[in-house]
Amino acid sequence: MARLDDVELTERLLLKAYPFSRYGPRSAHPASMAVTPLRKPLAACTVALVTTAGLSLPDQPPFDTSIRMGDSSFREFPGDISPQALQMNHRSWVVDQTDILRDRNLVLPLDRLREMQARGEIGAIAPRHYSFMGSIIGPARLIKQSAPEVASRLVADGVDVALLTPV
């Protein structure tokens, strides 16, 4: 695990001074669903992927990296897509994208899910998966609109487990 001392001085100073907010489930809030115990064996579950890598299909508009507080929209792609077909539009200067651009499975491990399904470790792969852009410093719209919309779609697809791959 990386330590703060491993980060360059400029980023370390930014992180120490950054006014981080805490967000978490509240009992009366829809986000509390995120902390629900698994009700059946993983081998019987439908699994979806949600990433913050800023991935999009070539025919979808890329994430807008010029929005000062971050683009809180999302992109949806089918479960049978090749991860390598996806484009990355992430704005973080602290994320080295080299390996991600070589293998999108690092941030959207669909090929690994396919292998798990073939071995009987998971029941099914969801028909749709989602990407957000990371580095959203103004998350109000994400919390109030985009995340609940994706959650509703996951429920509609019968998803039992949503695996988040943060970038």
**What SS3 state is found at 17?**
helix
Alpha helices in 81-146 (DSSP H): 98-102, 110-118, 140-141
Q: What is the pLDDT of residue 100?
A: 78
Q: What is the pLDDT of residue 127?
A: 98
User: Over the chain, what is the mean pLDDT?
Assistant: 85
Closest C-alpha among 78, 82, 98 to residue 90:
98
pLDDT digits (tens, 9 = 90+) for 135-152: 888 888 999 999 999 999
Phi and psi of 115, rounded to 5°?
-65, -40
Closest C-alpha among 134, 131, 150 to residue 50:
131
Q: What is the pLDDT of residue 65?
A: 83
Q: What is the pLDDT of residue 45?
A: 97
Distance CA 134, CA 69 (A): 11
Q: What is the pLDDT of residue 94?
A: 63
Q: What is the pLDDT of residue 1?
A: 61
The list of the chain residues with pLDDT below 50 reads 31-32
Neighbours of 79 (CB within 10 A): 18
Q: What is the pLDDT of residue 157?
A: 98
